[in-house]
């Protein structure tokens, strides 16, 4: 079973002329993109698109790329002040999501606001 969460993705805002919302793309799969009105919706639609892309590759007997061929594991650890940790934990609980899901949404939304997506090679 392939872990869809292991594949890195990029989120960028869509212009109003393109319908607004957010676009998600998976660098490991040039053909796999999706969108949504919110970052969370784009991520959910992206996972569905990724699952369909992988299923199609497997059905055609095409090798499925390994996650993160850019060398990033998708995991990092950071220290934050206790007060910020408490605020994030309370917000996650209030929204009924995990702390990781909340922080992921905040990071993705913040990166999306910057405009052009940045990749490891352009950072």
Q: Report d(CA 92, CA 86) in Å as an integer.
A: 10
pLDDT at 70: 46
Q: Report d(CA 48, CA 93) in Å as an integer.
A: 26
Percent with pLDDT over 70 in the chain: 86
Ordered DSSP codes for the chain: ---GGGS--EEEEPPGGGTSSEEEEETTEEEEEEEESSHHHHHHHHHHHHHHHHHHHHHTTPPPPPTTTTS--S-------HHHHHHHHHHHHHHTS-HHHHHHHHHHHHHHHTSS---TTT-
pLDDT band (50, 70, 90) for residue 117? low
More confident residue, 31 or 119: 31
Chain length of the chain: 123
pLDDT at 114: 66
pLDDT at 88: 94
Taking only the tens place, the pLDDT of each residue in 52-111 is 999 999 999 998 988 877 445 566 778 889 999 999 999 999 999 889 889 989 988 887
């Amino acid at each position: 079973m392939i872990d869809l969460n292991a594949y890195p993705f990029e989120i960028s805002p869509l212009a109003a002329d393109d319908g607004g919302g957010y676009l998600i793309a998976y660098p490991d799969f040039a053909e796999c993109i999706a969108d949504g009105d919110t970052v969370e919706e784009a991520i959910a639609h992206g996972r569905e698109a990724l699952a369909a892309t992988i299923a199609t590759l497997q059905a055609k007997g095409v090798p499925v790329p390994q996650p993160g061929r850019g060398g990033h594991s998708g995991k990092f650890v950071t220290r934050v002040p206790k007060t910020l940790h408490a605020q994030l934990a309370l917000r996650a609980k209030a929204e009924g999501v995990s702390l990781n899901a909340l922080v992921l949404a905040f990071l993705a939304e913040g990166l999306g606001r910057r405009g052009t997506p940045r990749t490891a090679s352009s950072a």
